[in-house]
Copies of this chain bind each other. A is one copy, B any other.
Amino acid sequence: MRLPARPEAIPTVRREVELHALRLGISDRGLADLKTVVSEACTNVVRYAYEGEEEAGPLEVEFTPVADSVKVVVRDHGCGIAPKPDADPSLHMGLPLIGALSSRFVLSSERGAGTEVEIHVPLAGQPEPAWVVDA
C-alpha cells in the first residue's frame, strides 16, 4: 500500500490492515494492538517524515503473515529520525507503545533518506505488562 502521507491516510491504513488481519483469524486483543501500533507508526510518518517539504511524500505499508504473528512494515522516504523542535506537543509515546504492544520491532533510520519500522504483532495479542497488572 502506498499513500500520500497525510492525516486521512492513517485511518485508511488501519482499515486495510484490519481486513487482512481478520482473514488470518486474529484475536480481538491482537487486532486492537495491531491497529494501535500501525496508527502510531503511520502518524510518525505523517507528522515528521516530510516536515518542511511542500508536498507530502509517500507512506508505504506492507503486511505479511509470519507464523503466529503478523509483520507490518511502515516506511517513508523522508528525513530520518531527527529532533523536531517545531512539532506540536506530543506525549512521546509512539515508539514506546509500539514496543509494548508488539513482540518485537526493528526501526531503521537513514539520515536524509527515510525511516522504516518493522513490527511483529502476535495474533493472540500481547499480555498486559507487569506494571498494568500490578496497578
Contact = CB atoms under 8 A, between A and B. Distances in A.
B81 A96 contact: yes
Copies in the complex: 2
B106 A106 contact: yes
A103 B96 contact: no
A95 interface: yes
A99 B81 CA distance: 5
Q: How large is the interface on A (under 10, 10 to 19, 20 to 34, 35 or more residues)?
A: 20 to 34
Contacts of A105: 81, 108-109
Contacts of A92: 92
A116 B90 CA distance: 25
Contacts of A111: 99-100, 102-104, 126
27 contacts: A52-B130, A52-B131, A80-B99, A80-B104, A81-B98, A81-B99, A81-B100, A81-B105, A82-B99, A82-B100, A82-B129, A83-B96, A83-B100, A85-B131, A92-B92, A95-B95, A99-B109, A99-B111, A102-B111, A103-B110, A103-B111, A104-B108, A106-B107, A106-B108, A106-B109, A107-B107, A107-B109
Interface of A: 52, 80-85, 92-93, 95-100, 102-111, 113, 126, 129-131
